[in-house]
Amino acid sequence: MLFAGGGTGGHLYPGIAIARTLERLDSRVRPFFVGAERGIEKQVLPGTEFPHVLLDLHPLYRGRPWENWRTLRGAVSAWRAVAALDRREQPRLVVGTGGYAAGVALAYAVMHRIPIVQQAGDSHPGLTARAFRRWTRETYLAFPEAARVLGGDPSQLVDTGAPIEPPPSPLPDRRAARSKWGFPAEQGRVLLIYGGSQGSRAMNLIVADWVRAGIPDDLHVIWMTGKASFPEFASLDGGRVRVREYLSPIADAYAATDLALTRAGAMTTAELFAWGIPAILVPLPTAAADHQTHNARALAAAGAAVHLPQSELTVERLDREVRSLLADAPAMARLAAGASQRARPDAAEDIARRILRLLDLQQIRS
């Protein structure tokens, strides 16, 4: 089966999680990935076990419409490549995971009567998910709020949560996890900070000034800056602050964490909630269709997180929010409970089993 999606990690990693789970459940499954040359898949897919092809795909240039000739040219060449892939691999199903990298493969599948399913990663699904909704056998929702945006037959909209690698069960011992970071096993709280896999310079600048001004006495910090920004902030490592360019495996950080300050991407929030970690969410304001703000608002309304817009992120506001939560044990408990209620650690397996069930019901293309 073809997995089509990418551009960002939020549109690629769900597909990888589903594909690996499908292979584990049924050895007959052969995933093949279709992505964009300019997306994150160019760095990620060569390091996986999956065959793949990267195409000259482009998003819609909404702010620079005169550049959409690139989008059209890329779509034509990608269509030919997908057609050749279809002749060679004869896929039984196409799994769309969103982003501009998914559009051409889904359109080809619709035109050639190849069944499609989609994984919608945000509370306000993007253009691709909405455009192909009517031809999609099932859409797997990371946020139940997305159903209101997609509409259509409710039985085809499945609230699975976002497919992630689930945390171990039982969870690692928090005392031991803290000790690995050089923190006291019991005293104080641990705050995890990261702005996505590449980091966030806007967040890093505020966090750096906050650390210099003095973090709360009973707080310990794990701060992932991203590779590009790490040299600028590495000197702040020490004492109660650990500065890292990347967290791998990030489970070591999650296991020690009491509270997180992060972006509001679907995969980030899904992982935090699977670990039962409450969060202060700072949505990326330039995300497509402002989907991270929709995510943060939905999660704040559900009592699972605090929404802090980037325009309001200052040293003073950050310090006030963190100190307020640390001093209010019932509020922290409510957020942790809300996070746990939104957790779907088995989403990848739930989706994979539903896909296999669909394939059993349609032995040939319909």
pLDDT, one tens digit per residue, over 51-93 is 999 988 777 667 788 877 776 786 788 889 999 999 999 999 9
Q: Which residue has the higher pLDDT, 366 or 294?
A: 294
pLDDT given at position 364: 40
Whether residue 97 is found in the same domain as residue 235: no
Per-residue pLDDT band at 123 (split at 50, 70, 90) = confident
Q: What count of residues does the chain have? A: 366
Whether residue 183 is found in the same domain as residue 72: no
Range 336-343 average pLDDT: 91
Report how far apart, in Å, the C-alpha atoms of 143 and of each of 123, 148, 159, 299 are: 5, 10, 7, 9
Whether residue 146 is found in the same domain as residue 252: no
Q: What is the pTM of this model?
A: 0.84
Whether residue 298 is found in the same domain as residue 199: yes
Rounded to the nearest 10 degrees, the angle between the axes of helix 266-274 and helix 9-25 is: 50
Whether residue 151 is found in the same domain as residue 191: no
Of 49, 48, 111, 51, which Cα lies nearest the Cα of 85?
51
**Residue 138: alpha-carbon gap to chain centroid:** 20
pLDDT at position 362 over 80: no
**Residue 99: alpha-carbon gap to chain centroid:** 12
Is 22 inside any structural domain? yes
Whether residue 78 is found in the same domain as residue 180: no
Is 366 inside any structural domain? no
Whether residue 160 is found in the same domain as residue 234: no
For residue 318, give its domain range. 174-342
- Count how many domains the chain has: 2
pLDDT given at position 30: 96
Residue 194, strand partner residues: 224, 262
Query: Which DSSP state fits 166?
Result: P
CA dihedral 198, 200, 201, 203 (to 10 degrees): -160
Residue 343, strand partner residues: none
Whether residue 126 is found in the same domain as residue 202: no
CATH number of the domain where residue 289 is located: 3.40.50.2000
Question: How would DSSP label each residue in 128-143?
Answer: HHHHTGGGEEEEEESS
pLDDT, one tens digit per residue, over 281-305 is 999 998 877 889 999 999 999 899 9
Whether residue 85 is found in the same domain as residue 188: no
pLDDT at position 366 over 60: no
pLDDT given at position 365: 44
SS3 186: coil
CB 143 within 8 A of CB 268: no
